[in-house]
Structure 1
Amino acid sequence: MVFFRALGSSQLRVNPHLVCAFSLGGIFGGSSSAVRHSSTTAHLLRRPSPSAPREAPVPLVFLSASRWDARSQTGMRDSAAWFAERGYTCLEIDLGHPDNTESSEALMKHYESELASHIRLLAIPFAPVIVARAGGTLIAQTYISSHPASALLLISPPPSNASLSATSSPKLPTPLPEFNFEPRFPCAVMCTESERPTLERENRLWKDPNVDKMVVPDERAVAGQEGLVKIEMWLDELGL
């Protein structure tokens, strides 16, 4: 089942066929859980191409946080451009890193707040499809734990939050509790052939029979034609 909810009434005024890029950190400044909001969030809105065969009502949000995890941004721009040509409204958002955090939970709350603020500005009456990669998948899962989404696609997620404790990319200041939301909405995980064995052993969403799985040969295929076609087919199957 796909869940649709209104996202609010704020207006984002852009030329309907123009790409718009700006930072909203100054608008949504403030503090939350010992985190000061940064003004370095990059926001890029792509309207559906006029030549697209149809205009999809549900927007796609391509989420990254490159200052925290550079890999989270890999392929996001090309993917957003590709889907805009196919009739989707695509929001690329590269979240700014906070000036300081006391814990990993505070870091995730900062990212969640920034993401929610930007999504509200879309003023589209359908909850978005959230697409995230690598460390960005933690932000996406934090967001959908408290906010509506039509679907969730996680690309190359870490096997678990605990698996990040011993690594430096992305760096978590403190252990982050595992997510416990139930995927009662369309959810998929995409990975490479080399990532698959670890996810099969350790990733709770991969083990869930209700979560769709997509496997591509390698990193190049993830953001290439093969990966994009798999994602498009998945969206078509969902009726999005």
Structure 2
Amino acid sequence: MFSQAFRSLGARARPHVVSAFGLGGLFLNPSRHSNSSATGYLLRTPPPSAPREVPTPLVFVSASSWDASSRKGVDVLASWYAQRGYTCLEIDLAKPSDASTSQALMNHFESELASHIRMLAIPFAPVIISRAGATLIAQTYISSHPATGLLLISPPPSNASVPQSLLPTPLEEFIFEARFPCAILCAEAEQSRLAAESRLWKDPGVDKIVVQDEDAVVGQQGVVQIEQWLDELGI
């Protein structure tokens, strides 16, 4: 039953599409990814059939014009959790054309993300969910902004391990303390390198969620594990 429901997400999702700034936004939809460089955003609200309505929103952060893998499967996750009663905001951040350093790049992404979340005018700090390169954006954001939780999906083991095609100059490692709920989700093949190199993986306060393979990360196994983590947080 779960598998059948999971496969039908795209057909049942009813996203409410808006632009954070009204003009110039890229309107995303669950059936198509855009390769435009414009920042876009999709707000999914729970349908009347949802079993509950969760007050804490989930914010899915990607930057596909910078790292295409950061958006892989994000729409599937957001669609599923909207059906489960979560308000889900997908933000696909545009890559700036004038960021000459990695820090300037992260500062741009952080500012854009903060503006979009602020325009949502929600009373509860969100759970930030990101994948691949976008996990650097999420970590930059939570270093200066409140969040109810942070989920990093397949993050780079360290900033130094990120290829120069994404980070043109060295980026200092993050030093924030995980004093709020934080988890890392990865495939089994990624676990050993994260265990050896990732500061957060070595932090006992960070939850570790390991699934079978990359397909399972945003597949049925990953969806169930993430929801269990959210339930344990009381969200």
Q: TM-score range by the shorter chain?
A: 0.7 to 0.9
The structure 2 residue matched to 1:54, chosen from 33, 41, 52, is: 52
Q: Does 1:200 align with 2:192?
A: no
Q: Does 1:150 align with 2:148?
A: yes
Q: Does 1:44 align with 2:39?
A: no
Determine the structure 1 residue equivalent to 2:62.
Answer: 64
The structure 1 residue matched to 2:17, chosen from 13, 20, 25, is: 20
Given that residues 187 and 212 in structure 2 are in contact (C-alpha distance below 8 angstroms), is that contact kept between their aligned partners in structure 1?
yes
User: 1:65, CA displacement in angstroms?
Assistant: 0.2
The structure 1 residue matched to 2:72, chosen from 47, 69, 74, is: 74
Secondary structure at 2:42 match in 1: strand
User: 1:18, CA displacement in angstroms?
Assistant: 4.9
Aligned-CA RMSD value: 1.8
Secondary structure at 1:89 match in 2: strand
Q: Which has the higher contact order (CA 8 A, sep 6+)?
A: 1
Given that residues 23 and 39 in structure 1 are in contact (C-alpha distance below 8 angstroms), is that contact kept between their aligned partners in structure 2?
no
Q: In the TM superposition, what are the counterparts of 1:112-123 in structure 2 within 5 Å?
A: 112-123=110-121
Unaligned runs of 5+ in 2: 1-13, 26-35
Determine the structure 2 residue equivalent to 1:92.
Answer: 90
Cα-to-partner distance string for 1:91-146 (whole Å, 9 max, x where unaligned) = 00100110111210000000000000100111110000000000000000000000
Given that residues 195 and 202 in structure 2 are in contact (C-alpha distance below 8 angstroms), is that contact kept between their aligned partners in structure 1?
yes
Name the CA distance, whole Å, in 1 between partners of 2:218 and 2:48. Answer: 24
Secondary structure at 1:178 match in 2: coil
Given that residues 25 and 41 in structure 1 are in contact (C-alpha distance below 8 angstroms), is that contact kept between their aligned partners in structure 2?
no
Question: What letter corresponds to residue 55 of structure 1 in structure 2?
Answer: E
User: 1:60, CA displacement in angstroms?
Assistant: 0.1
Determine the structure 2 residue equivalent to 1:212.
Answer: 207
Name the CA distance, whole Å, in 2 between partners of 1:179 and 1:62. Answer: 20
Name the CA distance, whole Å, in 2 between partners of 1:200 and 1:25. Answer: 43
Q: Which has a greater percent of helix? A: 2
Question: What letter corresponds to residue 174 of structure 1 in structure 2?
Answer: T
Given that residues 127 and 149 in structure 1 are in contact (C-alpha distance below 8 angstroms), is that contact kept between their aligned partners in structure 2?
yes
Kindly tell me the number of residue pairs found equivalent between the two proteins. Answer: 212
Unaligned runs of 5+ in 1: 1-16, 29-37
Q: Does 1:187 align with 2:182?
A: yes
Q: Does 1:234 align with 2:229?
A: yes
Assess, with a 3 A threshold, how the Cα gap between structure 1 residues 88 and 48 changes in structure 2: closer, same or farther.
same
Determine the structure 1 residue equivalent to 2:219.
Answer: 224
Question: What letter corresponds to residue 233 of structure 1 in structure 2?
Answer: Q
Assess, with a 3 A threshold, how the Cα gap between structure 1 residues 136 and 25 changes in structure 2: closer, same or farther.
farther
Assess, with a 3 A threshold, how the Cα gap between structure 1 residues 132 and 18 changes in structure 2: closer, same or farther.
closer
Secondary structure at 2:192 match in 1: helix
Secondary structure at 2:55 match in 1: coil
Given that residues 53 and 86 in structure 1 are in contact (C-alpha distance below 8 angstroms), is that contact kept between their aligned partners in structure 2?
yes
Assess, with a 3 A threshold, how the Cα gap between structure 1 residues 39 and 75 changes in structure 2: closer, same or farther.
closer
Structure 1 residue ranges, 4+ long, deviating more than 2 angstroms after superposition: 21-28
The structure 2 residue matched to 1:139, chosen from 137, 140, 144, is: 137
